[in-house]
Structure 1
Amino acid sequence: MESQLYLIWGKEAYLIDQEIDRIIRQLEEGGEEPEILSLDGDELTARELREQLEFSPLFSLHRVAIIKRPYWLGKAKKRGNKSEEYIKAVNDYLNGDGSGQTLIFTTQEMDKTNPLIKRLNKEARIIECNPPDKKFLGKWIMEQFKQRGRSCTSGVVKRLQSSGQDMYYLFNLIEKLSLQVEGRSIEDKDLEQELDVRDEIKIFKLTDALLRRDLKGSMQAFHQLLEQGEHPLLFLNLTVRQLAAMARIKDYGEKGFSNKQIADITGMKDFMVRKFMDSGRHFSWAEIRSFFALCLDLDWKIKNTSQDAQFLLESLIIEICKHS
């Protein structure tokens, strides 16, 4: 089952998501519209993992199951005693008939002492996705601007290449610059207030934590942003923008559109559609409507009253991250 089993490893999350999208596109180009199952490996019990791996085709003849960053693929100290139950569940699946299902594991590290990694190393297709070299990154940066109908100076490319930032951060920054700068090529001066150094918190990582409903991560990122001097309204505006994008993708998905169709309609990249689709499953429509109403209320209060903006936005974070 080599062609249906993948291990994608490395620290560049953008490239990992690109590889997942490529695998799915290959299936679609082969005439199949696979069902997509995306699971957070750390949130599954061994029993749930075993149940999820069992595939009975109902609405699709093929399924892609993605197990993201399971701790039990890590080193022994990180795995703990319970990891044996997970590894046995996967081994039992691999020993059976896995036809009709493509199974993808993602992990940051390739720990060759892990018994399951040893097996995957023999039976799966291994794809490495670590941060690229500057030559690859430079071509990618120019292509991203070109896809948006924009151009930039060689100085901009060099600064982005040398920033030490991950590719998701660069993707979001290129998107932001393309919206902000009109009628001319993007220059070094346009980066001055936008490009963070390696260890600074990124605004899009905060909104990503919100859509995961990660309260601790969201609060920590928010306070770091305040320490860096970011205005609370920037956070509020980007939160509304991300919620709107998620709601749009969720609506199309529930109406039966495929990810490829949604990407064509919205102009979003496949991996962004998949990301918002995954996030949308964690929110009900009643919650989404209430969040938009709350954001509107907070925007008015911040601009027209003396109420503390930090307190107001902390209340928004708590409300969004609160599970119903």
Structure 2
Amino acid sequence: MPAQSIRQVIRRLEQHQIDTLYVLFGEEAYLHQEYLAILSQRLLEGAPRDFNFDVLQADSDGLAEALSLARTLPMMAACRVVVLQGIHQLRKADVRQLEQYAEAPSESTALICTSTDPEIKKVPRILQQNAVTIACKRLSGDQLHDWVVRTATRQQVRMSEAAVEAFLQDQDNDLFLLSRELDKLCTYAGPEGDIEPADVHAVCYASRQQSIFALSDALGSRQIPRAFHVLEQLLQQGEAPLLVFSMIVRHLRLLWSVKTLTQQRQDAGRIAKTLGLPAHVCRQMISHSRQMSSAQIQRLYQTAVEADLAFKTSNKPPQAVLERLVLALCSDA
């Protein structure tokens, strides 16, 4: 069955056309989360959620429990919803159990399977044929533009075309971060408000300029004073230390990925597309990766692992742990 958009699926549900099998596939975690919330809300329609909604991981035990629940009649509801996350991790022996269920699914259950594999062809063939498939791929270009407009509209806020362009300028396509910035903008505008470029600059400019890209650039170029300056500004803006830490870890993972892809002689355009990075950010990451060996990047990541342990086990203030990490990352030679 060809992949459908979430809008097409919603239209079917509005017409009370409930399917027994759904598959969400793709690498964009935010869309997985968003689409699961939409589907579960529409499918249950006010039914007792505690009795009719279950989420399980696709390991051997989770699969068996998920299929058992899927065969159980709903309670005081027309439909039961069972979510089976991570079917790309199933062993071949377990895949057969899922295929057998998909051949004759329960008519009173909507089984939603998720896979972070970007290709639908990696999903079991019987699911490709019988399930409603929805792509959750990284957004860019017009798709990212439309997502911003839809997200603002859901919050009863109108964004001009110029405001959308200003908002997306120099932004990464990380939907979790973009969603946070949009929430700030929509709160600033208020219900039924209008957002123009001036509003974007008033609310988002500082956070963009002092975003993880500025911190990443400072870390990548080993500029200790600048790195501490950007870190201080991020914390003063109210960013949680653990969120900043997760941004740093993401930077290190991207640095490793860029290093690996450049060693495979992939060009900047292909790397940017593979990793979902804006072109100028990708060029920046390539430049930084060339200044480090693979062993150095591995050491930096190990330093971040040690900082993660310090967050969880030491009595040091989170800001102190972050500052120590930034110093270590900038000082490694």
TM-score (structure 1 length as normaliser): 0.51
Taking the TM superposition and a 5 Å limit, the aligned residue runs for 1:39-50 are: 39-41=56-58, 44=59, 46-50=60-64
Aligned to 1:24: 40
Aligned length: 211
**Deviation by residue 1:273-323 (Cα, 9 ceiling, x = unmatched):** xxxxxxxxxxxxxxxxxxxxxxxxxxxxxxxxxx75535899xxxxxxxxx
* Corresponding residue of 2:238: 234
Partner of 2:206: 193
Deviation of residue 47 (structure 1)?
3.0
Deviation at 1:130, TM superposition (A): 1.9
Query: Match of 1:174, as an amino acid?
Result: L
Q: Is 2:326 the partner of 1:310?
A: no
Q: Distance in 2 between matches of 1:111 and 1:184?
A: 38
Segments of 5+ residues of structure 2 without an aligned counterpart are 1-17, 216-226, 244-315, 324-333
- For 1:8, give the aligned amino acid: L
Q: Secondary structure at the match of 1:168?
A: helix
Q: How does 1:1-324 map to 2 (within 5 A)?
A: 3-28=19-44, 35-41=52-58, 44=59, 46-55=60-69, 56-57=72-73, 59-61=75-77, 62-72=79-89, 83-111=91-119, 114=122, 117-148=124-155, 150=157, 154-162=161-169, 163-179=171-187, 185=195, 186-195=199-208, 200=213, 228-229=230-231, 230-231=234-235, 234-236=238-240, 308-311=317-320
What per-residue deviation string (whole Å, max 9, x for no partner) do you get for residues 198-242 of structure 1? 97499xxxxxxxxxxxxxxxxxxxxxx979513288345999xxx
- Post-superposition offset of 1:153: 5.5
CA distance in 1, matches of 2:105, 2:159: 51
Per-residue deviation at 1:148? 4.1
> Structure 1's 171 and 188: CA in aligned 2 closer, same or farther, altered over 3 A?
same
Q: In 2 relative to 1, CA 159–130 (structure 1 residues): closer, same or farther, beyond 3 Å?
A: farther
In 2, distance between residues paired with 1:184 and 1:91? Answer: 49
Unaligned runs of 5+ in 1: 74-82, 203-224, 240-306, 315-324
Residues in 1 aligned to 2:146 and 2:238: alpha-carbon distance in whole angstroms: 30
- Assess, with a 3 A threshold, how the Cα gap between structure 1 residues 67 and 97 changes in structure 2: closer, same or farther: closer
Corresponding residue SS for 2:43: helix
What is the CA RMSD across the aligned residues, in angstroms?
A: 4.2
Does structure 2 conserve the Cα–Cα contact (< 8 Å) formed by 1:152 and 1:187?
Answer: no
Aligned partner of residue 22 in structure 2, secondary structure: strand
What letter is aligned with 2:168?
Answer: Q
Does the CA contact (< 8 Å) of 2:82 and 2:112 recur in 1? Answer: yes
CA distance in 1, matches of 2:212, 2:127: 34
Instruction: State the structure with more CA Rg.
Output: 2
Offset at 1:175? 0.8
Identity %: 18
Distance 1:149 1:97 in 2: 39
Query: Do the aligned partners of 1:69 and 1:106 also contact (CA within 8 Å) in 2?
Result: yes
C-alpha distance in 1, partners of 2:179/2:64?
Answer: 36
User: Does the Cα contact within 8 Å between 1:142 and 1:152 map onto a contact in 2?
Assistant: yes
